[in-house]
Structure 1
Amino acid sequence: MLKIVGVLIASITAVLAVSSTVGSHADYLATCNSTSICPNHEVFCSEGVCRCPPNKAPVMIRWDLHCRDIVQIKRISTIEDHPWVISNASCLSSKKAVAKSSCRHSPCYSGILVDPLRSADEGGKFLDNCTITEATSVGQFKSGTWTNNSVMHHLAGNKTDLGLAIFNEPTLSPHVRAAIHFESILVGNYRNQVALGIGFPKSFDQERVHELGDR
């Protein structure tokens, strides 16, 4: 239990640290006017602050801020797994007109993986027209195939752009490694064989995977 609590605290600290670094970067959101020039040549003055041009989002690469093309995620596959992903059954079964499948707006999903994803989307806007699907399990590989309607079944079959489920990189099986790009967005402890992250299908460009991880 203590190890799990430690990982959770480190994970939340890492997310806050990245957000703080981008938000306080001298080149980003600095006050400007129509006659001033923003320090970073990649940003421009808009509505009184230095920001990335439209259709581009801020990315921290080796502690330097860059404006890169927005990589749209159209489909997310996930599974309920407290506290990483929490699905609200009453919300999902409700007959009220709510955006249940919207990656950006659905009130039915929350958790340690969901909240930072939406926070990053506020600046990056990479969840336009994105839908979220809840799978039945993470999946097991048997007789050459993955469990039907599992997160791994969706990833391996290129039926999703992102597997929003926790993967532990040091313990990934060869079958999982063959099917996904692993991207660690949370702090782990390799001494204890812990490095938690999310999975992208192999069809997703690896450079874009790293960019999304940075965001």
Structure 2
Amino acid sequence: MKLCIVDDHAVVRSGLMMLLNAKEDMEVIGEASEGNEAIELALRLHPDVVLMDLSMPHGKDGLTAAKELKQVLPETAILILTMHDDDEYLFRAIHAGASGYILKTAPHDELLTAIRSVAAGNAYLYPTATKRLMIEYVDRLRDGEGSSMETLSDRETEVVSLVAKGYSNKEVAEQLVISVKTVESHKANVMEKLGLKTRPELVKYAMKKGLLNFE
């Protein structure tokens, strides 16, 4: 298996390279510190698996990079390796195209199993994630939010937040420096993705997702 490691911490990349290169069936062929660099690297090297961190403050984040990478290299498996033991990150990673999600606190053997699993075309979630995924999915269906697993873009999330706070389309457009028509288009896309019909439903969604911070 040809592997690429994407993490903003050099010491993490070095440790992973030592671990993985010691395995007869694995070879680390490249490393990157942020998302843009990761995409360029993968396009050049065509790895079988990309180990992708989520939080990389000095460049493109892991979720965005994973989504873009799957569009250009659909055959490359993406395994999210992160400290975020969070349901929302888990859902967003899956819908960004990741084949697996594992925590950095996992034992080495579990990480190796996850890599081999996604390389073989299977999915891998850390042990407690599968149950949580099913519970969350059932809860969302029960609440009428079956489509809320769709990943919103950063701009769509900004629009949702401002609209839910009571800003008019014109005010949202002024704050984001875009046209009113673009705001209306984003709103329509969001409502369709989330399966929502009314503004109160949008406000309820924003509340659940923590998008009503008025700081």
Asked if Structure 1 and Structure 2 have the same fold, meaning a TM-score greater than 0.5 normalized by the shorter chain, the answer is: no
Task: Give the strand-richer structure, 1 or 2.
Answer: 1
Task: Give the helix-richer structure, 1 or 2.
Answer: 2
- TM (norm. structure 2) is 0.29
- TM (norm. structure 1) is 0.29
